[in-house]
Amino acid sequence: MMQNDRNHVRAEQQPAAPHAAQAPAADTRHEPMSLPPDALIIVPVRNIVLFPGIVLPLSLGRPKSIAAAQEAARRERPIGVLLQREPEADDPAPEQMYRTGTLGGILRYVTAQDGTHHVVCQGEQRFRVLEFLDGYPFMVARIERIEEPDDRTPETEARLFHLKERALEALQLLPQVPPELISTVQSVSSPSTGADMVASFMDLKPEEKQEVLETLDVRRRLDRVIELLNYRIEILKLSRDIGQQTRDSMEGRQREYILREQLKAIQKELGEGEGTAAEIQELEKAIAEAGMPPEVEEQARKELKRLERMPEAAAEYSMVRTYLDWLIELPWSKLSEDAIDITEARRILDEDHYGLDKIKRRILEYLAVRKLNPTGKSPILCFVGPPGVGKTSLGQSIARATGRKFVRASLGGVHDEAEIRGHRRTYIGALPGNIIQGIRKAGTRNPVFMLDEMDKLGAGFHGDPSSALLEVLDPEQNSTFRDNYLAVPFDLSQVMFIGTANVLDGIPGPLRDRMEVIELPSYTEDEKVEIARRYLVRRQLEANGLTPEQAEISDEAIRAIVRDYTREAGVRNLERLIGSVFRNLAVRIAEGQVEHVRIGPEDLHGILGPRRFEDEVAMRTSVPGVATGLAWTPVGGDILFVEATRVPGSGKLILTGQLGDVMKESAQAALSLIKSRAGELGIAESLFEKSDIHVHVPAGAIPKDGPSAGVAMFTALVSLLTGRCARSDTAMTGEISLRGLVLPVGGIKEKVLAAHRAGIRRVMLPARNRKDFEDIPESARNDLEFVWLERVDDATAAALSGSHTQGAERAEPMPASAG
Ligand SMILES: Nc1ncnc2c1ncn2[C@@H]1O[C@H](COP(=O)(O)OP(=O)(O)OP(=O)(O)O)[C@@H](O)[C@H]1O
Ligand SMILES: [Mg+2]
């Protein structure tokens, strides 16, 4: 735990890897153990005191501490950060611990690339240990939280004022203090927080900090911190004066040598700083070898000087050290040799991907242009298509074909500019943004860098992430990309950026304009079978340690998986399920039950369970209020469920599921239509007065707008209000008018194919779409029954089961939720 010995300090400085996990790995999961309600998981620390209101990174060195922090993170409970009386003890006994500590809320749990574990903790409240408990794999204690009542009295306010003044004075004496620290000190208004904050930032000995932590009387606490601070200021002044005098009388290196000696003497006096010299030397060497541009090298040396002057125990020391590690480890001048061989590239693309001819051709053109004119500004490619159609894996192939490294960053859910461009270093726990993290991971400055999920980029209040991305992608600007954390420019101009997105519409306009969009369509059933036969089966055999002699899977079985177990545009689930089949076989083969197995469609039930998709529809529509609709998407159709439910209320219509305006209107129209003919439908008018109707259309990836869900909305609502279930084998599409007519819609072919894929047997279409019947492929036409709708009553008559009266009775006593 952040102790002073060199190895640990090093480990602590290792910056968190980009793949830092929010929570510990799933495989460490075990049965939850029971803890008494007032018990707390304790993480013993050797030389750190966490104060309430302060955020600190802790490195976890000892296995027990890692287990403790993981357990707490899993339970979403704070840990108790408790100082050891004896810092050397590796497995401290209760009597080697102090009794007062601070509850630390876990903000982030990070497993760094080098395997070290860290937590970023927010100090919440002081606590006192009542008793340590035995029988846990880590330290656990029953504790009592220490409440700190409002402490504002004239006495404490006056002391706070004085403390702030002194603290600012001390900060002025320190070299290069971040301005944020100054403003934080200026703005603190609570006396107890003020004392804690200053104690936390000051480079005090751990025992001194512990003493401050244990001083609960705020007035006495302030006095003690002021006393410690005064002493510090004296030292700092002394050091400044020595510097002043010697600077006057000495020159150059001699002066520096003497200053350094004096500094060492002072630090020694304070019991700090021995052994830093070797570390500094090491860093100096690393800086010289990092191949930095002159501006960066200068900055690195400046920071190194600061580090040298800093006592090791200071919180800032670790910040500077981490920063230097980032500067040293970035590939400032490391390049993969760009060897583009078009024939070889074609071979690699074919080796990894089936079909996609047009796309492969475009990629080869792109590479050819790049080969002929390496310094030219080539366009940025953006692969757009549904999940699992090979966007990411095409990117990997491009990297392989060009001999570059491959890295990716997901932009999904990024709504803060800082995630792209990093946080300023003055912010505790700050790190560079996604881009620089990716570059460091790549280890070269010309990788293929995939920006995934560009359509899921958020826009937040902390700066717009898309404007930061624009800069990243702009060839005019990206040679001097400035990450907030690094605060020096990094040259991204050699990086080959590739974007990916599921839908084009989600990508912010200016970003879209900067890229060349390549659309990847969804695969047909035949293509999927072919991809599985040629690629996925081989890959999954290998992944599960099997040979083609041991295990086989028939084409019919593959087709059955495609049809009955997956409903996707791409092949990701297909690959996963083929994997499950082989895993199952691997067990049987390893146990010696069999030597060779060939899987046919009849074997799937035993391995993968019942067919999934018929079941999904059946399950969803097993309650009143759900109807199966059909959606058209730019990449093929899909089925979607319209779910309606009734909650106590006053007749409002609630719509959720990210519906577009037109779709919302069609829900409104469906409800009005029902109200206007409540009598005919056998629905009591009073139902509308005392309830709100909630219509939800789940499934995030389908764009949901347009009027074509009108019939499904109407059917779902009638189903809800009459208590009659919709038939699970039936899906529908069609716009409705307020007079109850069913109007024609577009995308009939794709919708019918989607229904077919999903195992639907009956499709209800607007009668006025009969002209589109010809477009529907024969196979689907033969398998499906078609119901042609003139009016909405045709829809309810054909789709809903059961009788009116029975349904109306069921619906009368108001259920909290019927859908
Ligand atoms: N045409 C193809 N030939 C061979 N394998 C393919 C093909 N298309 C996809 N795959 C395989 O399918 C899997 C999923 O593809 P990938 O991860 O690239 O999808 P994606 O388009 O990036 O999806 P997402 O939008 O979810 O990120 C990969 O293992 C990939 O190799
Ligand atoms: Mg992907």
Q: Write out pLDDT tens, residues 777-794.
A: 777 888 899 999 999 999
Alpha carbon distance 100, 394 (integer Å) = 56
Largest CA distance in the chain: 105
Given a contact cutoff of 8 angstroms between Cβ atoms, the answer to whether 366 and 378 are in contact is yes
Burial class (CB in 10 A: 0-12, 13-18, 19+), 764: buried
**Tokens read off for 303:** 């920071």
Q: How far is CA 614 from CA 117, 565, 576, 802, in A?
A: 45, 9, 20, 21
- Output the pLDDT for position 313: 65
Cα–ligand 1 centroid distance for 362 (angstroms): 18
- Output the pLDDT for position 164: 92
Tell me, using a 6 A CB cutoff, whether residue 531 lines ligand 1. yes
Q: Is the pLDDT of residue 178 over 80?
A: no
**Tokens read off for 344:** 């070889």
Spatial CA neighbour of 419 closest among 387, 383, 451: 451
Q: Is the pLDDT of residue 391 over 90?
A: yes
DSSP classification of residue 533: I
Mean pLDDT across 211-235: 91
Spatial CA neighbour of 615 closest among 566, 559, 560: 566
- Secondary structure, 3-state, 370-408: HHHCCCCCCCEEEEECCCCCCHHHHHHHHHHHHCCCEEE
What 3-state class would DSSP assign to 614?
helix
Q: How far is CA 604 from CA 423, 439, 536, 574, in A?
A: 51, 44, 17, 13
- Output the pLDDT for position 255: 63
Q: Is the pLDDT of residue 382 over 90?
A: yes
Tell me, using a 6 A CB cutoff, whether residue 396 lines ligand 1. no
Mutate to test the pocket of ligand 1, among 393, 504, 535 (most ligand atoms within 8 A of CB): 393
Q: Are strands 448-452 and 489-490 parallel, antiparallel or unpaired?
A: unpaired
Per the annotation, the verdict on 751 as an active-site residue is yes
- Residue 376, number of CB atoms within 10 A of its CB: 9
**Tokens read off for 268:** 């020694």
Alpha carbon distance 582, 605 (integer Å) = 14
**Tokens read off for 36:** 């008494």
Residue 19 binned pLDDT confidence (cut-offs 50, 70, 90): very low
- Output the pLDDT for position 809: 36
Catalytic residue among 397, 466, 522, 708: 708
Q: Is the pLDDT of residue 671 over 90?
A: yes
Tell me, using a 6 A CB cutoff, whether residue 522 lines ligand 1. no
Q: What is the pTM of this model?
A: 0.55
Mean pLDDT (the chain) is 84
| Lowest model confidence (mean pLDDT) among 3-17, 42-56, 172-186, 471-485 | 3-17
Q: How far is CA 732 from CA 395, 549, 594, 764, 793, in A?
A: 38, 46, 47, 5, 13
Alpha carbon distance 368, 341 (integer Å) = 9
Given a contact cutoff of 8 angstroms between Cβ atoms, the answer to whether 232 and 172 are in contact is no
Query: Length of the chain in residues, anyone?
Result: 819
Q: Which residues surround ligand 2, an ion (CB under 5 A)?
A: 391-392
Question: Concatenated DSSP letters for 683-695?
Answer: --THHHHSEEEEE
509-564 pLDDT, tens digit per residue, is 888 888 999 988 778 778 899 999 999 999 999 998 888 888 899 999 999 998 88
Burial class (CB in 10 A: 0-12, 13-18, 19+), 668: middle
| Neighbouring residues of 409: CB distance < 8 A, sequence distance ≥ 6 | 18, 434, 435, 437, 438, 449, 450, 451, 452
Alpha carbon distance 210, 275 (integer Å) = 25
34-50 pLDDT, tens digit per residue, is 888 889 999 999 989 99
Produce one character per residue of 141-167: b if its CB has 16 or more CB atoms within 10 Å, e if not: bebeebeeeebeeeebbebbeebbebb
Alpha carbon distance 102, 488 (integer Å) = 37
150 vs 422, higher pLDDT: 422
Spatial CA neighbour of 469 closest among 454, 491, 485: 454
What 3-state class would DSSP assign to 332?
coil
Which strand (E) or helix (H) includes residue 812?
none
203 vs 633, higher pLDDT: 203
Cα–ligand 2 centroid distance for 450 (angstroms): 9
Q: How far is CA 353 from CA 398, 532, 544, 571, in A?
A: 11, 11, 21, 12
Produce one character per residue of 277-296: b if its CB has 16 or more CB atoms within 10 Å, e if not: eebeeebeebbeebebeeeb
Spatial CA neighbour of 121 closest among 55, 60, 178, 176: 55
239-291 pLDDT, tens digit per residue, is 777 766 655 655 555 666 667 777 666 666 665 555 567 788 889 999 999 99
- Give the ranges where 746-818 is alpha helix by DSSP (H): 748-757, 778-783, 792-799, 804-811
Side-chain-side CA neighbours of residue 505 (13 Å): 9
Tell me, using a 6 A CB cutoff, whether residue 635 lines ligand 1. no
721-740 pLDDT, tens digit per residue, is 999 999 988 999 999 999 99
| Lowest model confidence (mean pLDDT) among 318-322, 372-376, 758-762 | 372-376
Q: Is the pLDDT of residue 804 over 50?
A: no
- Output the pLDDT for position 527: 85
Given a contact cutoff of 8 angstroms between Cβ atoms, the answer to whether 441 and 431 are in contact is no
Per the annotation, the verdict on 708 as an active-site residue is yes
Q: Are strands 785-789 and 762-766 parallel, antiparallel or unpaired?
A: parallel
113-148 pLDDT, tens digit per residue, is 777 888 889 999 999 999 999 888 999 999 999 998
Question: Concatenated DSSP letters for 105-125?
Answer: EEEEEEE-TTS-EEEEEEEEE
Alpha carbon distance 317, 48 (integer Å) = 13
Spatial CA neighbour of 721 closest among 779, 674, 761, 789: 674
**Atom number in ligand 1 closest to CA 539:** 29
Torsion of CA 756, 759, 760, 765, to 10 degrees: -10
Alpha carbon distance 95, 74 (integer Å) = 28
Cα–ligand 1 centroid distance for 390 (angstroms): 3
Alpha carbon distance 60, 417 (integer Å) = 30
Mutate to test the pocket of ligand 1, among 571, 574, 578 (most ligand atoms within 8 A of CB): 571
